[in-house]
Amino acid sequence: MKENINSVQASKKKASGKLSQLAETLIGSEIVKLGADIKAKIKDGDKIYNFTIGDFDSSIFPIPEKLEREIIAAYQNKLTTYPPADGILPLRESVSKFLKEREGLDYNTNEILIAAGGRPLIYTLYHAIVDKGDKVIYAVPSWNNNHYVHFTKGQHVVIEATRENNFMPLADDIKPHIHDAVLIALCSPLNPTGTVFKKEELEKICDMVLEENNRRGDDEKKLYVMYDQMYWTLTFGNTVHYNPVSLRPEMKDYTIFIDGISKAFAATGVRVGWALGPEYVLDKMKAINSHIGAWSPMAEQNATAKYLLQKDEIDLYLSDFKKELEERLQLIYEGFQQLKSEGFAVDACAPQAAIYLTIQLSLVSKATNNGDSLSTQADVTSYILNEAKLAVVPFYAFGAPKNSDWYRLSVGTCKKEEIPEVLGRLKEALEKLK
């Protein structure tokens, strides 16, 4: 028996040996870690207001009925085989028409690549452009750019964006680093903040990229822009979404858009995304993706191809969807402003777009009723989760410094009638601090 135990222990020790440098050095998702804590609390019977995930509760925000019916019909019609590596032609045609009508972007089907959502497109984009040691410029907070640079062994050029600029990077922040960079990763509306680029600032960045590429010789790598606009349909009030190619048509040679239905139609699990860009770049992305096999499913592609042509249906869906999102964001924003006016160390940025509210919890150095000090933002996050039952994601999960007191609050799972309760629980938790 003892020999068997020793054999098992030896086997485990051998199996836990060193793996690749990538595997050994890849940082796990902070959001996943927080999610594990939340699940444990819910399992123990706690009611948690889980505003961490960039996803939707489909009982609150279902996908469009017409899209659902088209998906069901596609499966009933046995559309379950491998799709073409670049996506079915009818879907690329529909995407082309959809974006031309709604955003003024003119892309033919050879300049459109379909994949299983935005993630594989971003992954293949990085691998198509970035070599080991190449400079990649990105701002923090931002979603996963730090991990994608790590995947490619690129050189991180990190810009810390500030509240004064709605956490969007400025051209002046980027300019000192562009001389030998190969990629600038931009996102608007931004995950995690729900804020957008100002027209003038994005124009400055575009002009800078064009000037830099004109300076480079034919044998040099060009400087590309990844423009993640997955949330572009979800803008509120007077907020306007701008993109590089509409502002500067010459940017079409250097811009790769990341887009899809995931957030526009609350269809995160449907897995239909697309990239737009220069054909020679997309061809390489397609080749990489063909080896990964991260294709969007055939049935969902056919359904989306048909749905994107339903202009009136889409307008009706987006009108109601955006109204519900904006109401939640605005109610929570106003609640935070009320708490701030009462002297609590909290704040929030006015909502502009997406499903996110940027909130501030400046509670480090405060003490709880039992005398424990909140010495780090991790302590603050845990305290708010334990006392207010409110789960939000600290900006350090998006590459920001560990001492950042800003957080992402997502309303994709928010029940409107529970918002007063959420704010009340938060106030009670804040009142316990000294």
Which of 9-13, 59-63, 234-238 is the least confident region?
9-13
**Domains detected in the chain:** 21-60+316-431 (3.90.1150.10), 65-315 (3.40.640.10)
Average pLDDT over residues 393-414: 96
At 345 the pLDDT is: 97
Percent share of the chain, pLDDT over 90? 88
Average pLDDT over residues 204-209: 98
Average pLDDT over residues 373-379: 93
CA angle 7, 9, 11 (to 5 degrees): 70
pLDDT band per the 50, 70, 90 thresholds, residue 126: very high
b/e per residue, 242-266, with b = 16+ CB within 10 A? Answer: bbbbebbeebbebbbbbbbbbbbbb
Q: Which residues face 373 on adjacent strands? A: 367
Give the Cα separation of 3 and 288 in Å (integer): 48
pLDDT at 9 over 60: no
pLDDT digits (tens, 9 = 90+) for 54-90: 999 999 999 999 999 999 999 999 999 999 999 999 9
pLDDT digits (tens, 9 = 90+) for 166-180: 999 999 999 999 999
pLDDT at 5 over 70: no
At 43 the pLDDT is: 87
Give the Cα separation of 178 and 213 in Å (integer): 10
Average pLDDT over residues 40-64: 93
pLDDT at 338 over 80: yes
Question: Which pTM value belongs to this model?
Answer: 0.93
Question: For residue 138, is it left (φ>0), alpha (ψ between -120 and 50) or beta?
Answer: beta
At 7 the pLDDT is: 55
pLDDT at 399 over 90: yes
At 132 the pLDDT is: 97
Look up residue 305 and give its two tokens.
Answer: 């191809």
Cis peptide before 169 (omega within 30 of 0): no
pLDDT band per the 50, 70, 90 thresholds, residue 233: very high
Average pLDDT over all residues of the chain: 94
At 124 the pLDDT is: 98
CA trace torsion 368, 369, 371, 376 (10° rounding) = -10
Give the Cα separation of 117 and 268 in Å (integer): 8
pLDDT at 14 over 90: no
Instruction: Name the residue among 205, 212, 119, 111 with its Cα closest to residue 165.
Output: 205
